[in-house]
Amino acid sequence: MKFKYLTLTAAIFGSLTLVACGAGDKKAGGESANVIKIATASPLSGGQATAGKDNESGARLAVEEINAAGGVDIGGKKYTVELVSEDDAGDPKQGGTVAQKIADDKSISAVVGHYNSGVTIVAQPIYAKANLVAFTVSTNPDVINKAAKSDSGMTMIYRLDGSDAMQGPALATFAQKKGLKNIAILDDATAYGKGLADEVEKKAKSIGLTVIAHESATDKTTDFKAILTKLKSMGIDSIFWGGYDDTAATLAKQARELGITATFLMPDAVCTDNYLKIAAAAAEGTICSATSLPLADLPKGGEFKANFEKRFPGQPMQAYGSLYYDGVYTAVAAIKKAGSTEPGKVAAAMKGLSLEGLTGPISFEDSGERKDAIIAISEAKGGKFVTVDQIK
């Protein structure tokens, strides 16, 4: 399909005025060097497939826009961008297999992914060993704090959004501001869900909230009634769920069926239309934290949403398509700065890189954390998430 040159593309490409010194590299085996390959990985199957497809589509939209705008100029030579998409199923074991497949493909220049923190923690050392820089939305602090470096000591992973070390405290603080006092914490025992639940619990206790209980389920739990029945008699006024939108919706519906009126406190992976659709009336009043600004609060958000929905009709936008989109543009900016498609040179070009993205100015600390990350607090009202607070 042929695409028109988009205003949003012009704005972002205008920010990529980076000097490309030297011609692009030939790939191993003599492959022609007129293609830039960027890999992306998300759960395209399983319970989180809705989020995964959103991620992939955001990345694909960026690739198609870049190519429609004439591709990428490196040393006077035009390159087209090709997206290599892989399904990690949200499973660390499959994620490791996918990462090794990507790392073994010497024609790939960078990676945008993964989604789940547990998958990223497994995959990232594999990419680092292959000198592949990765751009992730995974929010567990250990994704950055315990990340593998390259053999030469370079940072090899960059987070495109805020971490749970920001998100957990922000959500607990907002709960207190809202007048909530007695919180029950549940998690799905994943690196993402458990890690975030621990952050919420730590902050809640430090500011005087009472943590009534902290229970664990799994990311595949379909029956929460035993846990919820136990909590119902314990005087809770709020329930935090550390997990993803599919299980969150099940939890919310079953809680309301049992007559529990507590306020739901949900993390970024639940700030989705998928949660609102599945939970239906049970979602009303849910307080949700997001690790970047919602599209409605972004200057180019409406334009991006319209372009996304035109390109992928019938596919409702979720939480992270905009960040995967920015991940592709960030990878391309690094390639342009490096003047090369060689992975090690692309990774080295990340130091000091900055550009204007859809989700705001993009630059990073030496650690790989995004500078000026924002936590947005939203409330489900009338079938939509409405931003009620922003915390830096």
Cβ-contact 334, 342 below 8 angstroms: no
Report the alpha-carbon distance of residue 48 to residue 29 in Å, rounded: 37
Summarize pLDDT for 339-351 with one digit per residue, the tens: 999 999 999 999 9
- Read off the pLDDT of residues 170-184 as tens digits, 9 standing for 90 and up: 999 999 999 999 999
Helix and strand element counts for the chain (H, E): 13, 15
* Average pLDDT along the chain: 92
Distance CA 17, CA 224 (A): 52
Question: pLDDT confidence of 29, banded at 50, 70, 90?
Answer: very low
What pLDDT score was predicted for residue 316?
A: 84
Can you tell me which residue has the tokens 């990311």?
A: 219
Q: Are 320 and 137 in contact (CB under 8 A)?
A: yes
Question: Residue 231: pLDDT above 80?
Answer: yes
State the Cα–Cα distance between residues 70 and 325, nearest whole angstrom.
Answer: 18
Residue 96, pLDDT above cutoff 80: yes
84 by Cβ neighbours in 10 Å (0-12 / 13-18 / 19+) ranks as middle
Report the alpha-carbon distance of residue 308 to residue 277 in Å, rounded: 19
- b vs e for 326-353, b when ≥16 Cβ sit within 10 Å of the residue's Cβ? bbbbbbbbbbbbbbbbbbbbbbbbbeeb
pTM confidence score: 0.87
| Partners of 289 in beta bridges | 377
Q: Is residue 327 within 8 Å of residue 110, measured between CB atoms? A: no
The alpha carbon of 310 is separated from its chain's Cα centroid by a whole number of angstroms, namely: 22
pLDDT digits (tens, 9 = 90+) for 251-267: 999 999 999 999 999 99
